[in-house]
Amino acid sequence: MIGRIVGVVAMVVLAALLIWRLDVNGWGSLLWAGSGIATSVIRSPHEARNKQNTIARQDRQGIERVLLIGVMLGGSVIPLVHLLTGVFSFADYDLPWWATALSLLLVIPGLWLFHRSHTDLGRNWSVTTELRDDHTLVASGVYERIRHPMYSAIWLIFLAYPLMIHNWVAGFAVIVAFGAMYVIRVPYEEAMMVDRFGDEYRTYAEETGRLVPPLR
Ligand code: SAH
């Protein structure tokens, strides 16, 4: 409860500071904050529920921790510090207002897919690469034709960052951080699924695309 109150107060203070800096950062900075808050709101009930899972297997937790810290730095800390202080302003670029508006074409479908993938995975979802005791293979809903719709959603949202934060460092850091996480994590996540589900996952993999549905 106290944690939640502290979180809400911190969010209100940050929102006030971002509004105070609106002239410098442009309204894309508010879209950025809004997209961050929306992803937390979408994820939090799933996080709370899945805390009760019994975990049967966790893979490469050391690497996972480093990758997650990278995404947190690139996606939250670096942009926020820049938007509040202008520390990377030497790397600013100008974009017309409609380029900022274009970010919504990525963020809105991204948030929808983020929500759907959490709902479809249900208790099988986890922040790190792990399997729970009663893990089931989900191959329906948004998982019917895509193996990693949650990562597709995250890509859509993160690719919008440079349209919302007009800075080569603060806008692109998350793309580098999530790119590293994606490239490193996906192969061992899929290997873990093959280990657990065998041919069921191999067949599923043949019928699906990683991030977008297969052309066939
Ligand atoms: N890579 C997926 C899921 C991300 S959450 C996506 O982008 O949508 C990570 C966890 O999801 C992994 O630890 C794995 O246990 C679980 N997972 C991944 N694909 C799954 C599937 N098709 N069915 C059930 N669980 C899955």
What pLDDT does residue 193 have? 97
What pLDDT does residue 216 have? 72
What pLDDT does residue 11 have? 86
Ranges of residues in the chain whose predicted pLDDT is under 70:
none
What pLDDT does residue 41 have? 94
Any idea what the Cα angle at residue 35 is, between residues 160 and 121, rounded to 5°? 95
Ligand 1, pocket-test mutation among 50, 71, 125, 200, most atoms within 8 A of CB: 125
- pTM (2 decimals)? 0.96
Which one, of 111, 87, 88, lies nearest residue 31 by Cα? 111
- Check residue 53 and report its DSSP letter: P
Q: Is the minimum distance from the CB of 189 to ligand 1 under 6 angstroms? A: yes
For residue 73, what is the enclosing H or E element?
Answer: none
Q: Is 138 left (phi over 0), alpha (psi -120 to 50) or beta?
A: beta
